[in-house]
Amino acid sequence: MKEEKQLLAPGHRMCAGCGVALSARLCLEAAGEKTIVVVPTGCMEVTTSQYPETAWRVPFIHVAFENAAAAASGVDAALKMMGKREGVNIVAMGGDGGTFDIGLQALSGMFERGHRVTYVCNDNEAYMNTGIQRSSATPYAAWTTTSPPGKKSIGEFREKKPIGYIAAAHGIPYVATATIAYFADYQKKVKKALSADGPAFIHVLTPCPVGWRFPPDRTVEVSRLAVQTGVFPLWEVRDGDIENLRITVKPPERKPVEEYLAVQGRFSHLFKPEKQQDVIDRIQKMVDEKCERYGI
Amino acid sequence: MAKMILEGNQALAVGAKLCRPKVIASYPITPSTHIPEMLSEFVANGELDADFINVESEHSAISACIGAQATGVRTFTATASQGLALMHEILYVASGMRLPIVMGVANRSLSAPINIWCDHSDTMAERDSGWMQFYSENNQEALDLVIQAYRIAEDERVLLPAMVTIDAYTLTHTFEPVDVPSQKEVDEFLPPYKPVYAILDPERPITQGSFGTPEYFMEFKYSQQKAMERAKEVIDEVFREFEEKFGRKYGKIEPYRTEGADVILVTLGSMSGTGKEVVDQLREEGAKVGLIKVTVFRPFPAEELREAVRRAKVVAVIDRDISLGFSGAVFANVSASLINEEKRPLLANFIVGLGGRDVRPEDFREIVDKSFRILEAGRVEKPVEWINVSGEVP
């Protein structure tokens, strides 16, 4: 990554090893400085826009938690009416809470209306800004403060919401998944998304050292393992044509999912005090089934 | 200037159109639905050069307006009741970000029970949201107040959003003759929108909607309060200029036959018309009674009000809303405005017309009778009294 003139300037207050910070930098590097950023309430917002400072070297607006897509719709409409729409990118960057859950309605509205906005969901698989509560993006068996494992619980008991499919079902021009370890793939997708004639959605897996319980120097490694194990396949879909979903990064040989689980403290209850092989096997089976569909 | 027969919703829509908003985002809700319908028609037939965003909720309507206004254009939205309540959270954001958005509101009750008829509970619930509030007595006022609201809201000394309200059905669906100014006249009165600070431009990147720590938060709120205070002066200026140009006079309050009045009624919105009628009748009968219509509720015109009731012996505040557990919202504000006066009138509150119950001439007569009894007794036994209500639901 280039060190000179990062559009998200160093000195922001994001945690060491934050996947979202890396994602935002990569995204902006690909989008360039003619980009207006719309951000809902969340980690990224509170850590980058603390008055009277700002980490943003591009125009930035935050309105509230559940409405980034609606606010971005307004930005799109205004630029059109000002005759300034051409050559300007609008990128909304929300977390999984603001996208999968509380912001889903506004997001669906923005997709359906066809606003030319690239919506990037930086998914760290729980409400990290409030301190690691589960969201509908939290994966099966993960610990969070509101999906604690216990005598009657293995942690989160539901599967992750298929947000990419939900986006694609709107028939929007471009939907993709990405993660920070595969930055060339991610940045290529950002460029494709921005050149789409309408809404685009990129679901970016952004590991969170604090919430996933791994050392901050292992963010990229965890991100890579998510792809190599098949937990988070990288794909793209055009015009909602899910039948022709294209895998963009194919791991040469899928690693066992246990490798991905074992490096994260949020799954530690699957390994100690005694190993819960049945749960690990169940997760492996879920991943196998998914990967079979994708041919990976 | 042309005379048109318009219902209240249409008057608001025509008024908004004359102000040339560039982005309109609105979600239909009874009884304000005709406003977005008419505006989308104006856009569809080329009469209004604007982008109409068919949002999926009122929450997104106001959010899209914020996005657009923060980018640098004039915006408009309209709603009522539950729609306004759904916007609640974002209303504070709009005012906190100092975006001069103008919104039309059809005053309708809040659920439950669900009810689509008039009272002022919806806008009164937003009185602390940092929006200026203008209440219309009739459709002419609705049109005029929208145009003036933009001028006031966009004034550099103010930069606050504003809502212009019309009573459900009594105004929204009632046709009245309205003087509609020409586009040229309105253009002369309201110049094109020039954003002062709020603009999203890659050539000049700024951050809007910052995170405000305890070190700074109070200063932001203090600034909003100061802007509200300055707005009082700006409102007077704009009202004066409007009168010079269009010949119709507005005031933050409108005293009606208050000279020598022992009893003064305080009203908002369309019931003011009925109230004035009754005042005329009673004056003829020799009763010393007058009325004050509050047009601007935020900022609250405490100074004018104090002056206007100075010689009255009883002030009867008629609220078409109820802050459950205490009194009507208008009463609380009128009372607070007078509290430090050495000599002040007795104050009584009457709750009327909730959920579309008619506010009838006989209700006004009852209120006036009760007020004169207070005057004779020299004290208020029941500070908050409900009019035309049969009792608790069995």
Classify residue B34 by burial, with Cβ atoms within 10 Å: 0-12, 13-18, 19+.
buried
The confidence score (pLDDT) of residue B207 equals 98
- Asked if A227 reaches chain B (Cβ–Cβ under 8 Å), the answer is no
In chain A, where the domains are located = 3-294
Name which of B211, B218, B220, B221 to mutate to probe chain A: the one with the most chain A Cβ atoms within 10 A of its Cβ. B211
> B145 falls in which pLDDT band (50, 70, 90)?
very high
Domain A3-294 belongs to what topology? Rossmann fold (3.40.50)
Q: From residue B217, how far is each of A45, A61, B88 by CA, in Å?
A: 16, 18, 20
Q: Could you tell me which of A131, A173, A135, A163 has the C-alpha nearest to residue A232?
A: A163
Tens of pLDDT, residues B262-303: 999 999 999 999 999 999 999 999 999 999 999 999 999 999
- Complex-level ipTM: 0.97
Residue A3 has pLDDT above 70, yes or no: no
B208/A62 Cβ within 8 A: yes
Say if residues A190 and A27 touch (Cβ distance below 8 Å). Answer: yes
The residue-averaged pLDDT of A109-133 equals 98
Local confidence band at A4 (pLDDT 50, 70, 90 cut-offs): low
> Which H or E run includes B105?
strand B102-107
Give percent of chain B above pLDDT 90: 100
Question: Do the chains contact at A54 and B207, CB–CB below 8 Å?
Answer: yes
Give the C-alpha separation, A149 to A144, whole Å: 8
**B340-358: burial string, b at 16+ Cβ within 10 Å, e else:** eeeebbbbbbbbbbbbbbe
Tens digits of residue pLDDT in A225-280: 999 999 999 999 999 999 999 999 999 899 999 999 999 999 999 999 999 999 99
Q: Whole-model pTM?
A: 0.97
Token reading at B332: 């609380």
CA A202 – CA B145 distance, rounded (Å): 45
The rounded Cα A146 to chain-centroid distance in angstroms is 21
Name the residue in chain B with its Cα closest to that of A103.
B60
Q: For a pLDDT cut of 70, what percent of chain A falls above it? A: 99
Whole-number CA gyration radius for chain B? 21
Judge whether residue B110 has pLDDT over 70: yes
Distance between CA atoms of A36 and A90, rounded to whole angstroms?
Answer: 5
Apex B275 CA angle, B273 and B280, nearest 5: 100
DSSP E strands, B131-234: 132-135, 162-167, 175-180, 207-208
Do you find a cis peptide bond into B113, omega within 30 degrees of 0? Answer: yes
Encoded tokens for A154: 């293995």
**A102-111 pLDDT tens trace:** 999 999 999 9
CB distance A226 to A124 below 8 Å = no
Relative to beta strand B132-135, strand A89-95 is unpaired
Is the distance from CB of B269 to CB of B120 less than 8 angstroms?
Answer: yes
Percent of chain A with pLDDT over 90: 98
Please judge whether B64 and A54 are an interchain contact, meaning their C-beta atoms are less than 8 angstroms apart.
Answer: no
Residue A1 has pLDDT above 90, yes or no: no
| Separation in Å, CA of A98 to nearest CA in chain B | 14
Residues in A closer than 8 angstroms to B73, CB to CB, are 78, 81-82
CA dist., res. B348 & res. B379, Å (int): 10
Chain A CB within 8 Å of residue B223 CB: no
Q: Torsion-angle region of residue B37: left (phi > 0), alpha (psi -120 to 50) or beta?
A: alpha
Which B residues 251-280 touch A at CB under 8 Å? Answer: none
Cβ–Cβ of A70/B63 closer than 8 Å? yes
The answer to whether B384 and B349 have CB atoms below 8 angstroms apart is: yes
Average pLDDT over residues A166-182: 98
pLDDT of B96 over the 60 cut: yes
From chain A, pick out residues whose CB is under 8 angstroms from the CB of B91: none
Cα–Cα distance measured from residue A22 to residue B303, given in angstroms and rounded to the nearest whole number: 56
CB contact (8 A) between residue B71 and residue A62 = no
Is some CB atom of chain B closer than 8 A to the CB atom of A108? yes
Closest partner residue to A49 among B55, B72, B207, by Cβ? Answer: B207
Mean pLDDT of chain B: 98
User: Hey, what domains does chain B have and what are their CATH numbers?
Assistant: 2-246 (3.40.50.970), 254-386 (3.40.50.920)
- Which one, of A27, A20, A5, lies nearest residue A188 by Cα? A27
- Residues 6+ away with beta carbon under 8 Å from A79: A36, A85, A88, A90, B71
Q: Does B67 touch chain A (CB under 8 A)?
A: yes
Q: Give pLDDT, residue B329.
A: 98
Structural contact between residues A28 and A58, judged by C-beta atoms closer than 8 angstroms: yes
Q: Where are the beta strands (DSSP E) in chain A?
A: 35-39, 60-62, 89-95, 118-123, 149-150, 153-154, 174-179, 200-205, 234-238, 246-249
Q: How confident is the model at residue B90 (pLDDT cuts 50, 70, 90)?
A: very high
Q: What is the pLDDT of residues B320-345, one digit of tens each?
A: 999 999 999 999 999 999 999 999 99
Task: Write down the pLDDT at residue B1.
Answer: 79
* Burial tier of B44 (Cβ tally within 10 Å: 0-12, 13-18, 19+): exposed
Q: What is the mean pLDDT of residues B55-70?
A: 98
pLDDT band per the 50, 70, 90 thresholds, residue B138: very high
Q: In the prediction, which pLDDT does A5 show?
A: 82
Contacts of B190 (CB under 8 A, 6+ apart): B19, B147, B150, B151
Q: How many CB pairs below 8 A link A and B?
A: 158
If you measure CA to CA, which chain A residue comes closest to B206? A59
Q: How confident is the model at residue B182 (pLDDT cuts 50, 70, 90)?
A: very high
